[in-house]
C-alpha cells in the first residue's frame, strides 16, 4: 500500500471511532477561525496559487514533473505550473456546505489550542490530476481533490485539520521546529541533494525544504539521518502514479558550514530504509504511519489531537498541546 493510501486509510479509520460534530452555524461563522478567515477560492484565485513559481515548483525533479502530467517526455517547470493551474475547479453550493461542516467543527478547537493560522486561508477545489488525487497545500491554500475523498464528515475534518497544520507550519516555522523536536528532529542547514538523486526527487508541496535531521544510533554508530522522498524507478506502468514508485530513504548526512551534505561510501550516498532503523521509528512516536518527513508525522499527530482520538502514545499529543498553548516562539 502506498504512503498516500495508508494515510487516507488511517483517516478513514476515524469513521469507526466515537466522534461529535460541531454545531451547525452560518456560512460566515463556519469560515472564521478567530482573526483568520477560511474562504472557498474562486477559480481565478486557485489558478494564481497553483500556477505560481514557488519553492515546490523549483524543488520538483524531472521524473516528478513528467509523472504529474502523465507523460514520458521532459516537462518544464512552466508546463508544470500551467498544468496545476488548469486543475482548479469551481466550488458548488453542495460542496461548500460539505466542507463548512468540517470548518464548523475545527474552528472552536483551533481557537482553544491557539493555532496561529494566517489571516486568510483558501480552500481550492481540484480535479486531482495535479497531485495523483491527494490533498496538499501551497502557500496559504489547502487543495482538495474532493471527488477522490470519501464523503464522510469525520474524514473531511481529519483531512482538513492535517492540511491546515501545513499552512500553520509554513507561516510559523519556528513553531514547527519546536514541534518537530518532540519527535527527535533538529534543525540543520539545507541539504545539498546527491546529484544522482536530483532527477528522481519527489518534492512534497507540504514540506518543500529538507532542513531537519535526526541523530540516532545504528549498528553501534552515531549517525545523522535526513528523510527524503525518491522515485525508485523512472518509469511508470499503466495506471501508476508517482506514489507507486516512491521510496522513503533515510540519508546519512553530515553538517558543514551552511550546507548539510550526504555521507558517501564508495562514492555512493549512504541511506537506509526506515524499517532498518528501529530507533528512527520509535522516536516518531508510533501514532501514525506517515513517517517520511517530520512535517507529515506532526500534521497527523496534530489532527489526532484536534479530533480528540485515542492513540498509542497519548503523551506525545499532550506535548503537542503544550507547545501550541505556549504560543509561537518570540
Identify the burial level of 26 via C-beta atoms within 10 angstroms of its C-beta, where 0-12 means exposed, 13-18 middle and 19 or more buried: exposed
Ramachandran area for residue 308 (φ above 0: left; ψ -120 to 50: alpha; else beta):
left
φ, ψ (nearest 5 deg) of residue 11: -65, -40
Q: Mean pLDDT across the stretch 212-226?
A: 95
Cβ-contact 252, 224 below 8 angstroms? yes
Lowest-confidence segment of 16-20, 158-162, 261-265 by average pLDDT: 16-20
Categorize the per-residue pLDDT at 16 as very low, low, confident or very high, splitting at 50, 70 and 90.
very low
- Rounded to whole angstroms, the Cα distance separating 185 from 329 reads 17
- Domain spans of the chain? 21-172
Cβ-contact 242, 64 below 8 angstroms? yes
Paired sense of beta strands 136-138 and 120-126, if any: unpaired
The tens digit of pLDDT for each residue in 44-76 reads: 999 999 999 999 999 999 999 999 999 999 999
Cβ-contact 211, 191 below 8 angstroms? yes
Q: What is the pLDDT of residue 330?
A: 64
Categorize the per-residue pLDDT at 31 as very low, low, confident or very high, splitting at 50, 70 and 90.
low
Using a pLDDT cut of 70, give the percent of the chain over it.
Answer: 90
Which of the pair, 7 or 262, is modelled with greater confidence? 262
Categorize the per-residue pLDDT at 22 as very low, low, confident or very high, splitting at 50, 70 and 90.
very low
Q: What is the pLDDT of residue 28?
A: 45
Categorize the per-residue pLDDT at 262 as very low, low, confident or very high, splitting at 50, 70 and 90.
very high
* Strand locations in the chain (E): 32-33, 36-40, 88-89, 120-126, 136-138, 141-144, 186-187, 212-218, 221-231, 246-256, 259-262, 264-265, 268-269, 271-272
The tens digit of pLDDT for each residue in 70-117 reads: 999 999 999 999 999 999 999 999 999 999 999 999 999 999 999 999
Q: What is the pLDDT of residue 257?
A: 82
* Cell representation of residue 1: 500500500
- Angstrom CA distances, 204 to 55, 106, 153, 228, 292, stand at 10, 25, 26, 10, 10
Q: What is the DSSP letter of 122?
A: E
What secondary structure, in 3-state letters, does 142-167 show? EEECHHHCCCCHHHHHHHHHHHHHHH
The tens digit of pLDDT for each residue in 144-189 reads: 999 999 999 999 999 999 999 999 999 999 999 999 999 999 999 9
Mean pLDDT of the chain: 91
Q: What is the pLDDT of residue 18?
A: 42
Amino acid at each position: 500500500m502506498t504512503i498516500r493510501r495508508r494515510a487516507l486509510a488511517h483517516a478513514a479509520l476515524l469513521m469507526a471511532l466515537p466522534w461529535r460534530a460541531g454545531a451547525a452555524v452560518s456560512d460566515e461563522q463556519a469560515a472564521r477561525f478567530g482573526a483568520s478567515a477560511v474562504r472557498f477560492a474562486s477559480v481565478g484565485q486557485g489558478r494564481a496559487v497553483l500556477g505560481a513559481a514557488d519553492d515546490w515548483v523549483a524543488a520538483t525533479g524531472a521524473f516528478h514533473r513528467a509523472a504529474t502530467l502523465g507523460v514520458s517526455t521532459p516537462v518544464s517547470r512552466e508546463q508544470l505550473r500551467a498544468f496545476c493551474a488548469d486543475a482548479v475547479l469551481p466550488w458548488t453550493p453542495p460542496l461548500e456546505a460539505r466542507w463548512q461542516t468540517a470548518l464548523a467543527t475545527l474552528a472552536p478547537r483551533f481557537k482553544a489550542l491557539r493555532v496561529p493560522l494566517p489571516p486568510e486561508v483558501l480552500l481550492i477545489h481540484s480535479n486531482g490530476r495535479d497531485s495523483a488525487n491527494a490533498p496538499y497545500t501551497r502557500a496559504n491554500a489547502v487543495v482538495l481533490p474532493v471527488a477522490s475523498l470519501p464523503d464522510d464528515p469525520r474524514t473531511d475534518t481529519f483531512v482538513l485539520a492535517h492540511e491546515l497544520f501545513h499552512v500553520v507550519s509554513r507561516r510559523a516555522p519556528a513553531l514547527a521546529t519546536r514541534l518537530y523536536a518532540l519527535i527527535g528532529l533538529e534543525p540543520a542547514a539545507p541539504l545539498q541533494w546527491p546529484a544522482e538523486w536530483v532527477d528522481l526527487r519527489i518534492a512534497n508541496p507540504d514540506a518543500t525544504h529538507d532542513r531537519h535531521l535526526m541523530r540516532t544510533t545504528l549498528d553501534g554508530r552515531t549517525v545523522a539521518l535526513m528523510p527524503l522522498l525518491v522515485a525508485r524507478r523512472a518509469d511508470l506502468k499503466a495506471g501508476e502514479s508517482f506514489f507507486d514508485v516512491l521510496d522513503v530513504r533515510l540519508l546519512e548526512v553530515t553538517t558543514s558550514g551552511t550546507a548539510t551534505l550526504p555521507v558517501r561510501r564508495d562514492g555512493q550516498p549512504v541511506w537506509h530504509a526506515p524499517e532498518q532503523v528501529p530507533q528512527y521509528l520509535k522516536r516518531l512516536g508510533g501514532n501514525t504511519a506517515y513517517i517520511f518527513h517530520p512535517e507529515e508525522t506532526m500534521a497527523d499527530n496534530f489532527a489526532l489531537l484536534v479530533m480528540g482520538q485515542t492513540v498509542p502514545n497519548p503523551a506525545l499529543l499532550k506535548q503537542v498541546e503544550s507547545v501550541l498553548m505556549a504560543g509561537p516562539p518570540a
